[in-house]
Structure 1
Amino acid sequence: MKYLLSIFIILLSLSNHSAKAQDHFEELRGLLRKEEGSSNRIKLLQTFLIQYKNSSDTLKMANAYHFLSFLKPDRKSAYVDSIIAITKNKSYARFPAGAYLEKGNIKYELGDYSGALESYVQASETAKTNGNDKLHSDAKFNVGLLKNQAGDYEESQIIFAEYITFLEQNSKYRTVFNYNPALFALADSYIHTKDLDLAEKTIAKGIKQTLKTKDSTTYSYIIVTSGIHQYLLKNYQKAIDSLQKGKELIYKFDPIETRIATCDYYIGRSYKDLGDKETSLSYFKKVDTTLRKTKDVIPEIIDVYDYLKEDAKSKDDYKLQLDYLNTQLELDSIRYANQVYLTRNITRKYDAAELISEKEKLIAKYEKDTFLKNNTITFLIILSVVLVLLAVYGFRRSYLNKIRFQKLLLEQQEKSKIDTSVPIEKNIKSNLTKKEDLDIPEDVVETILKKLQDFEIKNQFAKKHYTLNSLAKELNTNSAYLSKIINVYKNVNFANYLNNLRIDFAVDQLSTNKALRSYTIQAIAEEVGFKNAQSFSSAFHKKTGIYPSYFIKHIKD
């Protein structure tokens, strides 16, 4: 997905200019096509740019900067910043949203994923504000690719599916450069979550579409995905055939070796499961060669070193075993240095403590060898401590979230057992004990408590956004009485009272209503009475100790 993103986000940004076309943009593009050679086009644009600056025409200036950014890639970032500077307070259909989108692509290429995400969000917001549905959807798709890369597969799948639906419903925006990659992205994400039936359907659709449009680039990636899919289905020979075919196609146009490494990894896994150890090792060694050379880390194939270390161990080759371990630790450090992964709790196959123990045993056996110098040993020890701390933090957080989740489910089950046949009046009187002096007649307190219980039972709190005054008016009382009674008898203020009701209702609905779990967080928030996803997530975490996304993911499991 890392390399899919680096190619297709650029293609998306090129294709987004079909959206809300502006006459001058198309006119300028037509003039550039008549010029032969990039140098002539650059001179023409620079001439026009002087004219546009003299007339203070910011839209035409932005169009000129846009084309210059592709003709002079070494100054791309500067041109994109210029577009943003002159159009950020404008309401053009294409700018500044298109420039923010391109800035996000640039930041991604530099490894600044946080900056890329920020730019994509700005692109999405400005495109939506300025009425450019196409650019808004493109920016959201790029955010989905980042989420998918970071391991947030469920959220990214929702985004990819929405993007595909948008393109299918708006054929004027649909191109080979956006629809085909979207199908691939969704299929790849399904592979990561082991949704093999959905992956199979999406792969079949992607193959049909890429063959129809003669899109050999995306076709090759979908064929590789199909090979991984066959491997997961344990159809090992079919997996090898598809992966070899995809590998041959990629060789023709793609210079990035790590794509080939992914193919080699799954081919090696397939041969291993077929019982052909020697052939599998030959492919695993190819993966090792590529990773050592490129230092590009693809998390899913790092465990190739587990197989290589095991082979070296079986041959009592401690020097080679230690070499593989050092390489694995180095690549792990690169992996954790990537801020996308540092913000996630990535579950590693081997406990960091096991790696440390293994390393210490190998060092003890090989301590007289000159292969390891003192500074290398020091580095490994420090790195091992860091890995242990990261693992402990991740495991502790995972454990606490699991306990909170189980407690929440148990509480929900207990609530469902409450006898609802007892009349409301009886419940009120049994709970109506003497409280501090409220300066409110007891019959008024009892009446308001009855109305509040009725309000809670009918889930009215989820139907609209209440204020203290509006609820008091609805209950035919005054806000002062209502506030005091809620504080004393509910032990919370009015805002927390409403939030707690809505969170309990959300937990109940998500536990029993499978359809609701497929909604976006924003949609669920609105269903239970919150204005937005942020306030819902904050209130959910405050009351339960976990976020709604975690609860939904684990309730599905």
Structure 2
Amino acid sequence: MYFFRISKRIAFLSIIIFSVYLLSAQEKTNSGLSYPDSINKYFLTDSTKTISFINNYIKQARYKNNKADLFDAYHALESFYYQHNDTLQQIKYTDKLFAVAKDNNLKVQLLKGFHLKNNYIKMKFGLDDPRIFENIYEALEIAKEIKSVVWQCKYYDDIAGYYKLTGDFEKALHFYKKNLTILKGIASSKDYKEFKIWGGSIEKTCLELADIHIDLKEIDSARIYNQMAKSVLDSIGENYSGVFRYRNIINDLELNIIENNIVLAKKNLSDAAEIVPKTIKKTFQKYSKLYYSGLINFHDGDYESAIYSFEAIDTTRIDINQRAGFYKGDLYKYLYKSYLKTGNLKKSDYYFEKHLTTLNEQIKVNNSVNSNFRSTEIAKYNEEVKELRNQKSKQRFYIVIIFFTSLITIVLMLLYFKNKQDTNKKKLRNLVEILKNKENKTKSKSIILNIKTNEIKRITERLNELEKKEYFLRIDCTASNVAKKLKTNTTYLSKIINVHYHKNFTNYINDFRIEYVLERLKKDKLFRKYTIQSMANEIGFKSKETFNYAFKKRMGVLPSTLIKELAKEAEKEIG
């Protein structure tokens, strides 16, 4: 149910962090300063007063040269513009608060700044922007430096969130469970109580674990973690916990739907609507109510009502924020299924195409989504259409067309795969032979560049040094980082690699990695037993999909296929 689950992770925290933080700041300072309390009081009800108080807060902080207060005032403005959908102003004041923290070496504020900066990078540049990961790991180092366990957990939570988002649930579960154990051990500490609102909390971690088990349809585990979250939420105040209570009920609702308990699902939807916090934007409230109403109606067999709810959803804001992880995936899926159930094939085809388009957009951001999913969805859809048309005698003509089309497609696919199989076998034989008698030769290239000869020589020599040190095995081996190490720029680096090695930077690095793998596979039998994911991680690839693509592009076959062939060769040698 990705439509709302991805949104709720990203969207809900920003505003509650702000409002709760101001309350806690007022209670902690106890200095007669009324601005934080005043801002919080009018934040959701009176924009004019809110802006006035924030501007006065900024003036006072500057007058007293209080950088921590100035950070908080800019944070208030950032949150205000977030709430009012003014992205440019939100970005402006995020940059300002980050600069205040960085220029004045405010460690805790810098940790908050990294979180807020990553939020707007996701919004403006997308989830896959490398700066996000750089910020996460830099923040982790700061958290370790100041010995704040809760902040370490917060940024490990971010890493887990990325694994969860890309479907690597095994790694996501590992990080979340590790965090949960640590957080339980520090729950009574001042560090935990002060900073858990930024994302590293027991209740949030339990909700994330419940989410994953819901996706995996592991009902018992999902209920255990959701109940753990509820127990914690029941013991804390309303100011902070409203959003998480809402998520807790929504998780129960999704479990009800999996168990086909429609009556209880409707009750949970009603309960969720009663407690939805004011801090959640009205647009998200409306999305949630309509989406889950439609979902309940669909599973209750009321397809007309499901269609009414789903089509009432305004997807404009989702489209605007798509790069930040707001997807419509299941929305169009349930729309085409609903129309299919009502026999409206024209509308079903329309939404099925939109569903496929949305999946393609999501894949562009999330490169670990399985490319075979599209084929599976098409196959399932064709089966449903075929079944429906079989039930309607007047549409038999279409059944005949589908039958012959499918038959021709199958024949063509069989011919294609047979030809591909023969080609792969030849490639495998050649590749195994290469591994047995591997000999690398490097040809020098002499082409004129608009770069000084001494500089070309220096950069190529330094590249050779990095090659010997196997720098290419590092996951942060990017053009930017290599250029920094060589004390040059990416333009010079790319030109020299293009001319001297006749390839771009990515292929240059990937070729070294593939050569390394081939050499290890040739000499190290234990290495052949590694999982593809483990191999990928060891040689610097972020995912097994990227590794598979690079390997097949270079060698013509998948690494798993080569490993199997090497195993057969080894058996022959033993025999």
Aligning the two structures, in what range does the TM-score lie when normalised by the shorter sequence?
0.5 to 0.7
- In 2, the alpha carbon distance for the partners of 1:93 and 1:242 equals 42
1:43 paired residue number: 56
Q: Give a deviation string over 1:28-74, Cα, whole Å, max 9, x none.
A: 8956347675313422423432663xxxx876765654455446655
What RMSD, in angstroms, separates the aligned Cα atoms of the two structures? 5.1
Q: Is the 8 A contact 1:66 1:79 kept in 2?
A: yes
Distance 1:251 1:17 in 2: 16
The amino acid across from 2:365 in the alignment is V
Residue 456 of structure 2: aligned partner:
none
- The 1-side partners of 2:559 and 2:517 are apart by 20
- Asked whether the equivalents of residues 164 and 182 of structure 1 are also in contact (C-alpha less than 8 Å), the reply is yes
- Offset at residue 194 of structure 1 (A): 1.7
Q: Which amino acid aligns with 2:312?
A: T
Q: 2:565 maps to what in 1?
A: none
1:262 correspondence with 2:291 = yes
1:183 maps to which of 197, 206, 218: 206
Q: Does 1:149 align with 2:148?
A: no
2:258 to 220, 225, 232: 232
Counterpart residue identity of residue 2, structure 1 = I
Work out whether residues 78 and 90 of structure 2, in 8 Å CA contact, stay in contact via their aligned partners in 1.
Answer: yes
User: Which deviations, in whole Å up to 9, do the C-alpha atoms of 1:161-186 show, x marking residues without a partner?
Assistant: 23333322212314577433322221
Task: Using the TM superposition, give the Cα deviation of residue 352 of structure 1 relative to its aligned residue in structure 2, in angstroms.
Answer: 4.2
Distance 1:188 1:358, change over 3 A: closer
- The 2-side partners of 1:43 and 1:34 are apart by 13
1:286–1:198: structure 2 CA closer, same or farther, 3 Å change rule? same
Matched, 1:545 2:559: yes
Query: In the alignment, does 2:329 pair up with 1:299?
Result: yes
Distance 1:44 1:225, change over 3 A: closer
Contact 1:230/1:239 (<8 A) preserved: yes
Q: Which residue of 2 aligns with 1:385?
A: none
Match of 1:138 in 2: 154
In the alignment, the residues of structure 1 paired with residue 348 and residue 542 of structure 2 have an alpha-carbon distance, to the nearest angstrom, of 47
Within-5 A mapping of 1:80-99: 80-85=94-99, 87-88=101-102, 92-99=106-113
Match of 1:322 in 2: 346
Whole-angstrom CA distance in 2 between matches of 1:138 and 1:7: 16
- The 5-angstrom pairing of residues 270-419 of structure 1 reads 270-272=299-301, 279-290=302-313, 297-313=327-343, 321-338=345-362, 339-345=364-370, 347-348=373-374, 351-352=377-378
Quote the Cα distance in structure 2 between the aligned partners of 1:92 and 1:350. Answer: 51
Q: 1:206 aligns to what?
A: 229
Q: Which residue of 2 aligns with 1:221?
A: 247
Q: Which residue of 2 aligns with 1:165?
A: 181
8 Å CA contact 1:13, 1:98 repeated in 2: no
Could you tell me which of 120, 123, 127 is aligned with 2:143? 127
After TM superposition, give the deviation of residue 312 of structure 1 in Å.
4.2
Give the superposition deviation at 1:86. 5.5
1:276 aligns with: none
Post-superposition CA distance 1:421-468 (Å, at most 9, x none): xxxxxxxxxxxxxxxxxxxxxxxxxxxxxxxxxxxxxxxxxxxxxx9x
Report the Cα distance in structure 2 between the residues aligned to 1:505 and 1:51, rounded to whole angstroms: 64
Secondary structure, in 3 states, of the residue corresponding to 2:313?
Answer: helix
Q: 1:164 and 1:51 mapped to 2: Cα distance?
A: 41
Q: Deviations over 1:250-280 (max 9, x none)?
A: 49866223212332243124313xxxxxx34
Question: Once structures 1 and 2 are overlaid, which stretch shifts more, 94-103 or 191-200?
Answer: 94-103
2:10 corresponding residue in structure 1: 6
Per the alignment, do residues 27 and 134 of structure 1 end up closer, same or farther by CA in structure 2, a change over 3 Å counting? farther
Q: Secondary structure at the match of 1:151?
A: coil
Aligned to 2:114: 100
Q: Is the 8 A contact 1:180 1:206 kept in 2?
A: yes
Query: Separation in 1 of the partners of 2:215 and 2:165?
Result: 10
Cα distance in structure 2, aligned partners of 1:531 and 1:206 = 33
Corresponding residue for residue 569 of structure 2: none
- Displacement, 1:90? 7.0
Contact 1:91 1:130 in 2 (8 A): no
CA–CA separation in structure 2 for the residues paired with 1:494 and 1:16: 55
Once the 2 structures are TM-superposed, how far is the Cα of residue 80 of structure 1 from its aligned partner?
2.6
Aligned to 1:383: none
| Larger RCO, structure (CA 8 Å, separation 6 or more) | 2
CA distance in 1, matches of 2:528, 2:32: 57
Distance change in 2, residues 1:533/1:200 (3 Å): farther
Structure 1 CA distance for aligned equivalents of residues 147 and 233 of structure 2: 30
Change in 2 beyond 3 A, CA 1:147/1:110: farther
Change (3 A) 1:28 1:532: farther
* C-alpha contact 2:94 2:116 (8 A) present in aligned 1: yes
TM-score by length of 1: 0.55
Shift of the alpha carbon at 1:102? Answer: 0.6
Q: Is the 8 A contact 1:230 1:238 kept in 2?
A: yes
Q: Any idea what SS the aligned residue of 2:217 has? A: coil
Residue segments in structure 2 that go unaligned for 5+ positions in a row? 40-48, 320-326, 386-408, 429-468, 470-515, 562-575
Q: Paired residues, what number?
A: 389
Pick closer, same or farther for the CA change 1:51–1:239 going to 2, 3 Å: closer
The AA in structure 2 aligned to 1:188 is: D
Residues 15 and 130 of structure 1: CA distance in aligned 2, closer, same or farther (over 3 Å): farther
Distance 1:494 1:546 in 2: 12
Does the alignment pair 1:192 with 2:218?
Answer: no
Long gaps (5+) in structure 1 = 273-278, 314-319, 360-387, 408-466, 468-491, 511-520, 548-557
Q: Distance in 1 between matches of 2:316 and 2:67?
A: 46
Q: Please state whether the residue corresponding to 1:105 is helix, strand or coil.
A: helix
Conserved 8 A contact 1:295-1:331 = no
Distance across 2 between alignment mates of 1:493 and 1:156: 27
Residue identity matched to 1:305:
L
Which whole-Å deviations, capped at 9, do the CAs of 1:188-230 have from their partners, x for residues lacking one? 1110012222111112222333333343432232222212213
Q: Which residue of 1 aligns with 2:35?
A: 32
Q: Among the aligned pairs, what percent are the same residue? A: 12
Provide closer, same or farther for how the CA distance between residues 497 and 8 of structure 1 changes in structure 2, counting only shifts above 3 A.
same
Residues 300/163 of structure 1: CA separation in 2 closer, same or farther (3 Å cut): farther
The one-letter code of the counterpart of 2:203 is N
Cα distance in 2 between the residues matched to 1:127 and 1:499: 41
Q: d(CA) in 2 for partners of 1:357 and 1:78?
A: 51
Q: Give the structure with higher Rg (CA).
A: 1
What's the TM-score, normalizing by structure 2? 0.54
